Structures are given as C-alpha cells and as structure tokens.
Structure 1
C-alpha cells in the first residue's frame, strides 16, 4: 500500500457532518491525525463527563461513554477515494467499510462525501499540525494481541491503545454495558484509550486535551523531557515502558504497520 499524498498529512478537525436524513452535528469533538501511512480518529460527544477514573463513574456515565468513537489503522488513497482500514476500534467491529470521496476546497479545507451520498463532512486542518509527521504501530511485549500507536503531526500527538480483550464482533457497546451486570465487568469494556493533545514542539509536557478516558483530560501522556522530534523516539524505553493509562504489563514495543 502506497503512502498517502502529502496534502492529507496533519490534524484535521471536523467542522460539520450533515446526513441525508437532515441531521447535522457540529458539536462532537472530532480529530483525525494522518501520517504518511498510519491514522487515528477520535470522536467525543459534547456531553462532558467529570474527569474521573472509569471505576468512579456511574452506570449512566458509562452508557454515555459508549457513544464515543475512535479508531486507528492504515489509510489508502486512490485518486479522490480515501479508505481508512481500521485495525483497532473503540466500538465493536461491524464489518462496514470506512470510505469516502474527498475534495480539497483549499489546502486546509477538505470536503468528504459518502459514496452513496448519505453524508457530507467538512474538515479543517489545524495550522500547527503542519510540519514533522510520523507514526509508529505498537504491540504489547507480554501480550502481542494488544495493539496501539503513537502518531505525531506538528505540535500534536494522538496515542491509541486497544483493550486487554477485544469486544465481540457485530455487537453493540451500549448493549454490552447494559448486560455487564457489575462495575468490574463494565470497566474492561471501556478500557480502550485514544488520547489527543499537544507537546508544543517539545517545550511543554505532552498535555492531553481530549480522550476516550475522561480522567485523562489535562493529564500528561509524556513529560517535557521526551523530545517529539528525536530520531530514536520510538526506541526510547522511557516512552515505551508505561505509556498510556492501561499499558501492557511489560510495556510496548515497535511493530510493523498492520
């Protein structure tokens, strides 16, 4: 699979989605970080939850978290058709393709439409996301089934990490939570992390601005001592040993692109 065109690189924030039904949404916080091959996408509804650990949130708040979306994988671009091959997903896998027709209004404004015209989206590229752009797929050292990635574009980062156990395919996350029966059973269902934020060119700690885990907002993914532009960033033990809220027991290791 070839690398995506340079025009796509950076962080894109969705301004609007309009569906054929007439429903529109400009409130959900949606960020798509695109590197030459890897991508990650985070979608957090506007109903803000308190910055608490999953164990401290109520059952109703757990159900609210089930409305979140987030995924990561590899992007393929053929002419004006863009397809996102999801290799990890916050929601259960349902077999649907993630594919759209793309048109650049300007270099920093992208229009995406469904192939069947069922939706229309407007994306704006964040100015400070232009610059150094790279990513690394990750795998748990002691648990190879655990997948993750760390992506960087300009001043921004997006870290993604799968659950300890994948969700059953073709199921519904909200329904799984309703059937879980106890807090101990529901927390693992939500323990999939996608955290987006800024490192400000290495001049500040890597501060998380938006995450599938409410307790992460305002926290630091990595300290300021970790240089985002270091050539050996993805080989640094301090980065891979315990990154993320639910890191694998033995930490992460670099893995080939999925």
Structure 2
C-alpha cells in the first residue's frame, strides 16, 4: 500500500502545540516520506499507512523506544506545501512545511543479524536509518547527491523492498 502523492517528500516541522499548554517552534524536526516508508529525525523509521485523512506511522526501529500507543494523526493539507497534523487522541497539533516534493526513492534493507534499514533519497538530500527492532537505532541525513549508504552503515545489507 502506498501513501497519497501529497505526503511524499521532505517535511520540516514548523511547530507543535500540546493539549497541556506546552509548545515548541524551535526544534528542528524533519520527516522524510516515500510512497511506503518514513524516517523521522526524532529517531524512528518504518511503514506509513494512510486511510482517508488518518495517517499512521508504524515504526519498526526507534531510539529511544516509543511508547505502546498508536502514532497517528488526522491530516489537513493547505495547498501542496503545508499540512496540519492533529493527534487522534487530541494531545497535540503540528504544522509541517514541505521542503522538497520529490522525486523520492526508497529502499528497505535487512541484514542477517536482524538489523533493518531504510534509505530514502530525494534530488538534493538523503536520509538513512538502521538498527535492531527493540534496540538502538542510528540516523543520518545528508544534503547533496548522496544516494548511497553513508559511512558507518556497515556491510551485509540486502534490499528487501523498494518503492521503485
């Protein structure tokens, strides 16, 4: 299953406002979205499922570990470059600005030791996330034409699925 076209690209969070009154408009948070997978700079990566206005992120790796709850929100797009996400539990609202609409290519990789990885690339950027489910995860982001595994990615990776 793939996400609708308006989701695909590189997004920067403009701010988050929580129901407890706290907010954050200064922390840099990036969301890399391909047709099937996401990498979030806060430390998680995995599959994305969209049903109507509801978007759910299903991380397979995360560090620090995410709680047991569902990570889902209702999405309201404002043109092609902005989206407002409201948590399905009403606990937060986030504003996102699209930095790059694509084209985007992504691969999901596996290694014999059980490690998983995602490589998502755009015209001028790439995001790489790898780790063991339930263990530590590592993330890197690069600007420029760098559609290869970054230094320190290790070896033994095989592509298990691709958006292409």
Partner of 1:181: none
Partner of 2:141: 196
Partner of 1:15: 14
CA distance in 1, matches of 2:66, 2:98: 28
Residues 207-255 of structure 1 deviation map (CA, whole Å, 9 limit, x = unaligned): xxxxxxxxxxxxxxxxxxxxx4xxxxxxxxxx46xx44252xx431111
Q: Under a length normalisation based on structure 2, what TM-score does the superposition of the two structures give? A: 0.90
Partner of 1:235: none
CA RMSD in angstroms, aligned pairs only: 1.9
Q: Under a length normalisation based on structure 1, what TM-score does the superposition of the two structures give? A: 0.58
Normalized per residue, the structure richer in strand is 2
Structure having the higher Rg: 1
Give the alignment of 1:94-243 within 5 angstroms.
94-126=67-99, 129-140=100-111, 142-143=112-113, 145-163=114-132, 166-167=134-135, 192-199=137-144, 202=145, 206=146, 228=147, 239=148, 243=150
Checking the alignment, whether the CA contact within 8 Å between 1:32 and 1:40 is kept in structure 2 is yes
Normalized per residue, the structure richer in helix is 1
Unmatched runs of 5 consecutive residues or more in structure 1: 44-69, 168-188, 207-227, 229-238
Partner of 2:5: 6
Q: CA deviation at 1:93?
A: 4.3
Unmatched runs of 5 consecutive residues or more in structure 2: none
SS class of match (1:28): coil
Checking the alignment, whether the CA contact within 8 Å between 2:61 and 2:134 is kept in structure 1 is no
